[in-house]
């Protein structure tokens, strides 16, 4: 027995055990050509910042969605849906996320400032009108308390003639950065019916009060309803029950990879369908390649985007003047666009079957066709708010974009799984080197005594395999004697180059 080799392969290497790394497959290039009327502005911002093109592309799509979502719902294979888009851009610090976002938001910020000045004047006029209304109402009520018979009836008529309390002018804000559900509801009630949650520090929202353990489920449910175009329902002890119809919300969160990993690993975000509603991407870094000599500017393209955005923002939204409920028209699909979308939907459906390429992201895949229709609606309305239908060219572009985002969701979901497996393997490595007293280890040792996340055989075996691959464990031949008995499967622990415990 002693004469036979003990190890399946030698654990002694000059380099020693290798660090555990998260091997994440690179993503496909962003299909910037498919941005249609947004393409020139995106290329201009990319040339100016030299950031990965996906970053300005996300900003442009989100801003365009915010601008047009109040005007029309787009026809999908499942019925009309909002043209609202939720976008999640993953990039580490230094990737120039803010620099990409600012040019697309500039005209919006200017519009908000201008409307805020108008709103201040309107608010002053409202205060005066409200004071007169309140005084007159109090006078009528005072007279009614003293009156009897016909005079009381006349007072009631006076109250009716006085009319309802004058409504305060709506807030001019079109965007917020980290609202709570209650704050967002109040803004929808007293402000614009078309809003956006936009933040180049999206971690503040995902880690803020709205997403705390007490509020997370409520916030996710509310944002899911808004994506669907459902009314906002709120019941509170002090305010009673309120329902707001016809509100629209666009979202763009820019986050760092660590924040994104935690968000994507949150079962509640996935199980509620919140995460699958996002157009997600994590482009490869451009840091180290952005030399000043390569920068280029296209002021004409940026000016064109800003001018188009101002035109849309200054167009009156179709809404009820009293309730401010949006009344968007239905933007139909042309026959050619519908045929393209149907073919795409069938192809994605087939890939969701067990064992298919998209079987691990069915939540996102099941929404891919609708996302394509929404993107096509945004591109169409950005070009022409009065367009009669989504044409095949915009649907073809939107499908290219939806395919990219679906591939990114699949890649990032796989990366999240790899990250979790690596984390478990690292926990096992530390336990073996710091706490385990024996020179060899068995699967049952890990299941019985190892770190809590590895108390199941499949997870324990997977972690042992990762450590073996990286040289922290040396597999023993079947039948090797470990702790006085022949073992079918066992590993020797490696501490360093040529050093087996």
pLDDT per position as a tens digit, 270-306: 788 899 999 999 999 999 999 999 999 999 999 999 9
Mean pLDDT (whole number) for 492-500:
71
* CATH no. of 32-117+169-283+293-417: 3.40.50
The pLDDT value recorded for residue 226 is: 94
Percent of the chain with pLDDT over 70: 89
What number of H helices and E strands is found in the chain? 16, 16
Q: What is the pLDDT of residue 418?
A: 62
- Nearest-CA neighbor of 386 among 61, 36, 70, 72? 72
From CA 452, how far away is CA 174, in angstroms rounded? Answer: 47
Q: In the block, which residue shows the tokens 């009327």?
A: 37
The answer on pLDDT for 497 being more than 60 is no
Residue of higher predicted confidence among 239 and 134 = 134
Q: Which residues of 165-191 are buried (b: 16+ CB within 10 A; e: fewer)?
A: ebeebbbbebbbebbbbbebbbbbbeb
Q: Return the DSSP state at 454.
A: G
Least confident among 56-65, 350-359, 380-389: 350-359
Stronger pLDDT, 72 or 259, i.e. the higher one: 72
Task: Name the pLDDT band for 6 (thresholds 50, 70, 90).
Answer: low
pLDDT in tens, 75-86: 999 999 999 999
b or e along 266-304 (b: 16 or more beta carbons within 10 Å of the residue's beta carbon)? Answer: beebbebbbbbbbbbbbbeebeeeeeeeeeeebeebbee
The mean pLDDT of 364-390, rounded to a whole number, is: 97
Checking if the pLDDT of 7 tops 80, the result is: no
Residue 149: pLDDT above 80? no
**Site of tokens 């979502």:** 69
* 488, 479 contact by CB (below 8 A): yes
pTM for this model (two decimals)? 0.78
Virtual CA dihedral for 206, 212, 228, 107, nearest 10 degrees?
-40
Longest dimension (CA), the chain: 118
Q: How many CB atoms lie within 10 A of CB 151?
A: 12
Which is higher by pLDDT, 265 or 419? 265
What H or E segment, with its residue span, contains residue 254?
strand 248-255
Sheet of strand 194-199, all strands in order from the earlier edge strand to the far edge: 175-176, 194-199, 248-255, 86-90, 278-281
In Å, what is the CA distance from 223 to each residue of 229, 233, 475?
A: 10, 12, 50
CB 222 within 8 A of CB 232: yes
Tell me, what's the pLDDT at 500?
Answer: 57
Q: Please tell me the distance from the alpha carbon of residue 497 to that of residue 501, in angstroms, as a whole number.
A: 11
Tell me: pLDDT of 13 over 60. Answer: no
Each residue's pLDDT tens digit, 20-49: 765 567 788 999 999 999 999 999 999 999
8 A C-beta contact, residue 355 and residue 413? no
Helix then strand then coil, in percent of the chain rounded to 5, is 55, 15, 35
Question: Do 197 and 251 contact (CB within 8 A), yes or no?
Answer: yes
pLDDT bin (cut points 50, 70, 90) of residue 433 is very high
Listed range (9-18, 140-149, 409-418, 461-470) with the worst mean pLDDT: 9-18
pLDDT of residue 304: 97
Beta-strand pair 194-199/248-255: parallel
Of these ranges, 21-25, 241-245, 376-380, the one predicted with the greatest mean pLDDT is 376-380
Between 52 and 241, name the one with better pLDDT.
52
Higher pLDDT pick, 62 / 128: 62
d(CA 491, CA 443): 9
Average pLDDT over residues 448-460: 92
pLDDT, tens digit, 9 for 90 and up, residues 169-199? 677 789 988 888 888 888 898 889 999 999 9
State which H helix or E strand residue 235 sits in. Answer: strand 232-236
Q: What is the pLDDT of residue 1?
A: 42
Burial of 210 (0-12, 13-18, 19+ CB in 10 A): buried
Q: What is the C-alpha to C-alpha distance for residues 29 and 215, in angstroms, rounded to an integer?
A: 37
Q: Cα(117)–Cα(208) distance, rounded to whole angstroms?
A: 30
Q: For residue 390, give the DSSP letter.
A: B
**Rounded distance between C-alpha atoms, residue 232 and residue 242, angstroms:** 8
What does the domain layout of the chain look like in residue ranges? 1-18+435-501, 32-117+169-283+293-417
- Written as six digits, the tokens of 131 are 């004071």
CB 67 within 8 A of CB 382: yes
Closest CA to 169 of 210, 217, 216, 117: 117
By CB atoms closer than 10 A (0-12, 13-18, 19+), residue 454 is buried
What is the model's pLDDT at position 139? 80
| Higher pLDDT among residues 264 and 388, named by residue | 388
């Amino acid at each position: 027995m002693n004469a036979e080799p003990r190890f399946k392969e030698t654990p002694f290497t000059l380099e020693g055990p290798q660090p555990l790394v998260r091997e994440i497959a690179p993503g496909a290039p962003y299909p910037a050509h498919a941005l249609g009327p947004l393409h020139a502005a995106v290329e201009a911002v990319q040339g100016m910042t030299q950031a990965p093109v996906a970053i300005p592309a996300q900003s442009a799509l989100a801003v365009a969605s915010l601008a047009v979502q109040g005007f029309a719902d787009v026809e999908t294979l499942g019925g009309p849906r909002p043209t609202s888009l939720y976008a999640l851009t993953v990039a580490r610090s230094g990737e120039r996320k803010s620099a990409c976002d600012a040019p697309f938001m500039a005209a919006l910020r200017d519009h908000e400032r201008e409307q805020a000045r108008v709103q201040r004047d309107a608010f002053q006029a409202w205060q005066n009108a409200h004071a007169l209304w309140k005084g007159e109402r109090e006078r009528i009520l005072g007279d009614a308390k003293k009156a009897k018979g016909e005079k009381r009836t006349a007072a009631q008529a006076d109250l009716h003639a006085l009319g309802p309390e004058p409504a305060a002018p709506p807030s001019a804000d079109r965007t917020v950065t980290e609202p709570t559900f209650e704050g967002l509801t109040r803004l929808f009630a007293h402000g614009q019916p078309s809003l956006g949650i936009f933040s180049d520090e999206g971690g503040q929202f995902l880690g803020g009060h709205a997403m705390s353990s007490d509020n997370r489920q409520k916030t996710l449910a509310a944002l899911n309803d808004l994506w669907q175009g459902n009314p906002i329902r709120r019941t509170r002890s002090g305010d009673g029950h309120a329902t707001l119809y016809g509100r629209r919300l666009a979202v763009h969160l820019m986050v760092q990879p660590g924040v994104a990993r935690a968000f994507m690993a949150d079962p509640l975000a996935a199980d509620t369908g919140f995460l699958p509603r996002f157009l997600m991407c994590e482009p490869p870094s451009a840091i180290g390649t952005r030399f000043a000599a390569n920068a280029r500017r296209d002021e004409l393209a940026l000016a064109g985007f800003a001018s188009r955005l101002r035109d849309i923002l200054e167009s009156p939204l179709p809404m009820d003047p009293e309730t401010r409920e949006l009344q968007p028209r239905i933007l139909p699909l042309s026959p050619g666009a519908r045929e393209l979308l149907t073919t795409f939907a069938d192809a994605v459906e087939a890939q969701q079957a067990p064992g298919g390429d998209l079987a691990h992201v069915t939540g996102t895949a099941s929404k891919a066709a609708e996302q394509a229709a929404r993107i096509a609606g945004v591109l169409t309305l950005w070009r022409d708010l009065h367009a009669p239908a989504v044409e095949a060219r915009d649907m073809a572009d939107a499908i290219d974009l939806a395919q990219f985002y679906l591939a990114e969701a699949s890649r990032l979901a796989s990366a999240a799984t790899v990250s979790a497996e690596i984390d478990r393997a690292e926990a096992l490595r530390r336990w073996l080197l710091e706490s385990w007293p024996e020179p060899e280890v068995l699967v049952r040792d890990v299941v019985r005594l190892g770190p809590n996340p590895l108390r199941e055989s499949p997870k324990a075996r997977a972690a042992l395999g990762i450590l073996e691959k990286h040289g922290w464990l040396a597999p023993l031949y079947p039948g090797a004697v470990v702790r006085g008995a022949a073992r079918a499967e066992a590993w020797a622990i490696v501490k360093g180059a040529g050093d087996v415990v």
